[in-house]
Structure 1
Amino acid sequence: LPHLMTRYTEISKEIRTIMAKFEAKICRENRVVGMTSTAAAKYHDLLEEMRPRIMIVEEAAEMLESHIISALTTSLEHLILIGDHQQLRPSTSVHKLSEVHGLSISLFERLVMNQFPFTRLSHQRRMRPEIRQLINPIYRDPPLQDHPDVIKYPTIRGVAQSLFFLSHNEDEHNLPDSASKVNEHEAKFAAKLSFYLLQQGYSASKITIITMYSGQKTL
């Protein structure tokens, strides 16, 4: 029986190698192949067979260093990391691993903090200047600038300004059998504001409501 198990393992490995070569041949017919970091680790044999020379990692600042290292291949010549080390960090299921052992620091952030040369975008094309000003304290050196296109963005129909904060004194409460919190006042206000924007001619696909609590979505 031990001999059969050993032989079974050998044959299984041979089959995986053959399949990896076949799949790699198909992948090499494409100029760009994309996958998640989990898939890169799971199908590392396939990556090796593909023999990539360039690897681009998007949202690198939110990815565990081990995920990037495990995806590297012997054929790799260029590793390009794209992300923002001043935003979200990688997360682990065990808090102690993140804080005590530094797993919450990505390879991307580690390189930047150790003065590794990097290029930083200087212009943003996403938001109106009023909103961009909120993140000025974060992006100071060099200061983030607005691309001319954002000045052309139309103002919101039926609303006096593009950015405003609303304060209220209505308390939130916990849902039964749940740690999630809800605030009915905020939910009603958001729903009525959305309905008002629909009346201004906006489609529902152009309106997004973001909440911090999963329970709030049920309202």
Structure 2
Amino acid sequence: ACADNKDKPTYVQDRFPFKEFFSDTPQPVFTGESFEKDMRSAKGCFRHLKTMFQELEECRAFELLKSTADRANYLMTKQAKIVAMTCTHAALKRKDFLQLGFKYDNLLMEESAQILEIETFIPMLLQRQEDGYARLKRCILIGDHHQLPPVVKNMAFQKYSHMDQSLFTRFVRLGIPYIELNAQGRARPSIARLYNWRYRDLGDLPNVKEDAVFHKANAGF
């Protein structure tokens, strides 16, 4: 019908079904001067309405979920793009995550060189397998195995069971390919020389050479 009435400038304006809804816009939605211009405006209005219904659909679950815990679980499993937690929390709540059907494709772990192997392994198992296959596609470990290892107070476990070795350190020792940063930006070059021998070709970022805060030593330190 629209193709047969392109010669009528007011055709879209006369037949648009939601004129009352858009009646409070700062400028009139339709001018009635051009069929093409009014058609673009009508399509924009329909896109706006579609977005509104999508947002309502996302919020509809809150009509049934009354408690804060239920709403938080819904947001985490259905809406959240990034979920942050400690390894300890992941271990304590693993059963709850499995019951909720928690799903994720990527796992990013910071300071992984200071975490026990079991604490690194548990966050990889917070979801059920789908058709016999693990959903997890990517695991990224960030850390520095030259710094402090995991703290194990029991000396027998630490020395004889080697529990003071993180999974990150194990991978490095096994020769798993990894990316090593070769520049630091948190200390003056004179301080960095105290430990840069421990790292391969460790240099300095431009900011530690150019920023005034790095030019002088801390007199009270």
1:91 aligns with 2:167: no
1:53 to 83, 105, 128: 105
Does structure 2 conserve the Cα–Cα contact (< 8 Å) formed by 1:130 and 1:162? Answer: no
Separation in 1 of the partners of 2:117 and 2:71?
30
User: Pick from 50, 62, 65: which aligns with 2:117?
Assistant: 65
User: 1:43 Cα shift?
Assistant: 1.0
Measure how far apart 1:30 and its partner are. Answer: 1.9
Q: Tell me the amino acid that sits aligned with residue 119 of structure 1.
A: I
Q: Deviations over 1:69-101 (max 9, x none)?
A: 122124321111000001110112311101110
What corresponds to 1:109 in structure 2?
169
Give, in angstroms, the shift of residue 156 of structure 1: 7.2
Q: Is the 8 A contact 2:188 2:214 kept in 1?
A: no
> In terms of Rg, which structure is larger?
2
Shift of 1:51: 0.7
The answer to whether the 8 A contact 1:20-1:46 is kept is no
Paired residue secondary structure (1:112): helix
Tell me how far apart the structure 1 counterparts of residues 105 and 70 of structure 2 sit (CA, whole Å).
17
Instruction: State the distance in 2 between where 1:111 and 1:57 align.
Output: 14
Q: CA RMSD in A?
A: 2.5
The alignment's TM-score, normalised by the length of structure 2, stands at: 0.58
Q: Is the 8 A contact 2:116 2:150 kept in 1?
A: yes
Kept in 1, the 8 Å contact 2:182–2:203? The answer is yes
Cα displacement (A) at 1:25: 2.6
Opposite residue 186 of structure 2, the aligned amino acid is: R
State whether structure 2 residue 146 is matched by structure 1 residue 82. Answer: no
Change (3 A) 1:110 1:89: same
Pick aligned residue for 1:132 from 192, 200, 203: 192
**Aligned equivalent of 1:154:** 212
1:27 is aligned to: 76
Partner of 1:44: 94
Q: Deviations over 1:131-167 (max 9, x none)?
A: 111112211x2x111111111232579xxx527xxxx
Q: Residues 20 and 45 of structure 1 are in contact (CA less than 8 Å); yes or no, is this contact kept in structure 2?
A: no
Q: Work out the number of aligned pairs and report it.
A: 143
Partner residue, 2:202:
144
What TM-score, normalized to structure 1?
0.59
Structure 2: runs of 5 or more not aligned? 1-67, 126-133
Secondary structure, counterpart of 1:55 in structure 2? strand
List per-residue Cα deviations over 1:8-60 (Å, max 9, x = no partner).
Answer: xxxxxxxxxxx998654311312211111100011113444221111111100
Unaligned ranges ≥5, structure 1: 1-18, 164-192, 195-208, 210-219
Q: In the alignment, residue 104 of structure 1 is paired with which amino acid?
A: D
Distance in 2 (alpha carbons) for counterparts of 1:155 and 1:108? 34
Tell me which stretches of 4 or more aligned residues in structure 1 moved more than 6 Å.
19-22
- Identify the residue that residue 6 of structure 1 maps to in structure 2: none
Aligned residue identity for 1:108: F
Identity %: 29
Q: Structure 2: which amino acid aligns with 1:62?
A: Q
